[in-house]
Chain A
Amino acid sequence: MGAERSLAAAAGRVFRTTAFKLSAVYLLIFIVFAVFVLGYLAWNTRRLLDAQITETITSEISSLADQYNQGGVRRLITVMERRGRQSGSFIYLLVDPKGDSVTGNAILRVPALDQRPGWIEARFNWPDEPEDIRHEAKLRVFLLPSGLRLFVGRDLEERARLGEVIRRARGWSLFMVLLLGGFGAWFVTKRVLGRVDAIAASSARIMEGHLTERLPVSNTNDEFDRLALHLNQMLDRMGELMAGLRALSDNVAHDLRTPLTRLRSGAEESLRRATTLEEGREGLERAIEESDHLIRIFDALLMIARAETGNLATSLQDITLDEALSSIAELYEPLAEEAGMPLKLAVEPGLSVQANRELLGRALSNLIDNALKYGHPAPESEARPEIVLAATRVGATIELSVSDRGPGVPEADRERVIERFVRLDQSRAKPGFGLGLSLVAAIAKQHGGQIRLEDNAPGLRVVLVMPIGNVNDCKDVTA
């Protein structure tokens, strides 16, 4: 009972598989097709055979008619008897008006008198064989002037044999179709749907939490590989986003804790120590400053997270770099001058990018802030302090750069400083919290670009590589 049920369940599973359904459909189509082809073949051949038989009977009749015309019924009977004895001969039969056979080489198994002149098909026997052997014949019936009925025809054995051949072929083809279809089903299941199963199994494992697992790719570059590759890319992207989110929450935990602690202990201290209103005021002012600092970190983190995951498509606009860079330079120029680092512009004319003006401005202002903070030439250096804001077209990209003449960033640290909260030892003395470059990198990424740190010999050059939008190209053409 239990075994039966599990067998039924297994059968149910098989019936539900796509492999089974697919092969069933294909088998059905094959069978219908085979039946149609065979049927058509049989019908056509039979028609051809019929036509041939009709033709031979007609020519025999015309020869008999000659004999009859020459020698009357007597001559006809003689010819019939002679010809009837030859092997493979026609069927000849002459019946008198009472229905009795006058002469003939066959026995008709239907009432002869009922047959009207014209073409008929009827059963008959050769005289020396038992009655249960049936033959079919095609016959032409004539009514002679004397009241005699003449039957001339041919055995339809060939046609019957053809029918037999077709029947056998039908059996065979059905067998072959079933065999091939079964093999096809096995192949589809094993080779093709097996791949789907593999993908399903991998995704099940991924869902279980093995997030680094990827779908199998067989390197045949077929549809399944493309599907698996795309899904893998999707998983990678999602993994990146999740990692970004996790890093964000880690950072929030680690790096907001420090200033929060500072805020709290500062407040505690002034609560404990402040005796005059003035001292209390000072404590509160420090607390506000500290919380402003916290808010800044928080904003920057949120913005990085947004920039890393967000999509800008809606807020992109065509930005003329000439205008955008000089606007930023104009904003910073007095400050740079005061810091003793002249701000210079080197913008190739006519360049534009697809960008969010706000974010681009923010990225550039971060870079200039950095240059102002860290870009003072080292005491032993002979370089003249300056900050250069440049934009050039390099192939299919536009490179925006901010260069200074400061100590630069050692090659080994260039990757690292882009990470969040990373501050090189030399910079710890200056205010800041190590998010500037991460923010710039996130903004670049959001625009489909990236950032690169280079040696300005001496100094640091931060390059913002932006793709050239199609819109700009169109503009160039129309301009």
Chain B
Amino acid sequence: MKILVVEDDADAGRYLVRALGESGHIADLAADGEAGLEMAMAGSYDVLIIDRMLPKRDGLSLIMALRADKRTTPVLILSALGQVDDRVLGLRAGGDDYLTKPYAFTECLARVEALARRQNPQSAQLIYRVGDLELDRLAHRVTRGGEDILLQPREFRLLEYLMRHAGQVVTRTMLLENVWDYHFDPQTNVIDVHISRLRGKIDRGQGASLLHTVRGAGYMIRDNGR
């Protein structure tokens, strides 16, 4: 995946570019808003990571300029301003996701990958399949190995989100944001308990477990057998 990082702090930018490279992506760095806009217009990037406060042209105006030019490249906004209103402002300007500094790289990576996937038309499937687990979005039905699994509505949405991002790490905050629509950092392990319940329903008594915990990052649904 080709990623553009627009970040004025040289160390932070270099670190992010190198870490993305280590994760198998190609990342370019722009050090100010003008250069960022130029590169974003010229290159064909899959995801843009844009710091909010930049010299020459601030991040939000960069995003607005891109959107005015009908560029739909997904944008992850990085910002030291993490209050509710700042987030709303960032998303309203045309950002697709918002990450508050300081952040864990795993969180950033997971979000970037989720954004790239969102662009991908395959993601709008009606039926998700991971191994022998199947989720039918229209019929609201989940089966594993042909057998029905009864899920609560929220568990269904949780599984749906995980399966839409099958093979990708999904962090706890991403789950809280996308499944519960809360944007705060839960102090307790609320999400973990939901996951373990879900795991109990889909993995219990099955040979291969599909719902994996990624240490220090989050969760991933994946069929290891394939």
Interface positions of A (Cβ within 8 A of B): 288, 291-292, 295-296, 299, 302-303, 306, 314-315, 327, 330-332, 334-335, 338, 356, 358-359, 361-362, 365-366, 369, 372, 432
Contacts and interface: CB of A to CB of B under 8 A. Distances in A.
Nearest to B191: A331
B185 A358 contact: no
Interface string B169-192: 000000000001011111111100
Contacts of B190: 331-332, 334-335
B56 to A, nearest CB: 27
Nearest to B87: A358
B102 A358 contact: no
Top 6 closest pairs, chain A to chain B, by CB: A334-B193, A335-B193, A362-B184, A358-B84, A361-B182, A335-B190
Most B-side CB within 10 Å, residue of A356, A361, A432: A361
Nearest to A366: B187
A299 B193 contact: no
Given A296-B187, A302-B82, A306-B83, 10 more contacts: A296-B185, A299-B82, A299-B100, A330-B154, A331-B194, A332-B190, A334-B197, A335-B190, A362-B182, A432-B187
B22 interface: no
B214 interface: no
27 contacts: A291-B102, A292-B104, A296-B185, A296-B187, A299-B100, A299-B185, A302-B83, A303-B83, A314-B85, A331-B180, A331-B190, A332-B190, A334-B197, A335-B188, A335-B189, A335-B190, A335-B193, A338-B193, A356-B84, A359-B84, A361-B182, A362-B184, A365-B182, A366-B187, A369-B187, A369-B188, A372-B188
Contact of A358 (B182, B188, B189, B193): B182
Interface string B145-165: 000000000100000000000
B208 interface: no
Given A331-B190, A332-B190, A358 B197 contact: no
A472 B124 CA distance: 38
Contacts of A330: 154
A315 B85 CA distance: 8
A164 B153 CA distance: 106
Interface residues of B, number: 22
B35 interface: no
B26 interface: no
B184 A365 contact: yes
Taking chain B's interface residues, is the majority helix, strand, or loop, or is none over half, making it mixed? loop
B102 A295 contact: yes
Contacts of A302: 82-83
Contacts of B194: 331, 334
Interface in B46-72: none
A369 B180 CA distance: 17
Most B-side CB within 10 Å, residue of A356, A362, A372: A362
A332 B191 CA distance: 9
Contacts of B104: 288, 292
B10 interface: no
Most A-side CB within 10 Å, residue of B84, B85, B88, B102: B84
A432 B188 CA distance: 10
Interface of B: 82-85, 88, 100, 102, 104, 154, 180, 182-190, 193-194, 197
Nearest to B152: A330
A198 B82 CA distance: 46
A367 to B, nearest CB: 12
Contacts of A334: 190, 193-194, 197
Nearest to B183: A358
A315 B82 contact: no
A358 B184 contact: yes
A427 to B, nearest CB: 14
A359 B187 CA distance: 15
A40 to B, nearest CB: 69
Contact of B88 (A291, A315, A335, A432): A315
B189 to A, nearest CB: 7
A369 B188 CA distance: 7
A454 B166 CA distance: 47
B79 to A, nearest CB: 13
A253 to B, nearest CB: 20
Nearest to B154: A330
Contact of A315 (B84, B184, B188): B84
A374 to B, nearest CB: 13
Contacts of A299: 82, 100, 185
B38 to A, nearest CB: 33
Contacts of A358: 84, 182-184
Most A-side CB within 10 Å, residue of B102, B104, B193: B193
Contacts of A291: 102
A338 B200 CA distance: 14
A303 B183 CA distance: 13
A322 to B, nearest CB: 16
A330 B153 CA distance: 11
Contacts of A365: 182, 184, 186-187
A288 B183 CA distance: 22
A51 to B, nearest CB: 84
A127 to B, nearest CB: 106
Nearest to B190: A335
B174 to A, nearest CB: 15
A81 B182 CA distance: 122
Contacts of B84: 315, 356, 358-359
A325 to B, nearest CB: 13
Most A-side CB within 10 Å, residue of B154, B188, B194: B188
A288 B194 CA distance: 25
A330 B180 CA distance: 10
A331 B187 CA distance: 13
Contacts of B184: 358, 361-362, 365
A288 B217 CA distance: 13
A296 B194 CA distance: 23
Contacts of B154: 330
Contacts of B82: 299, 302
Nearest to B188: A369
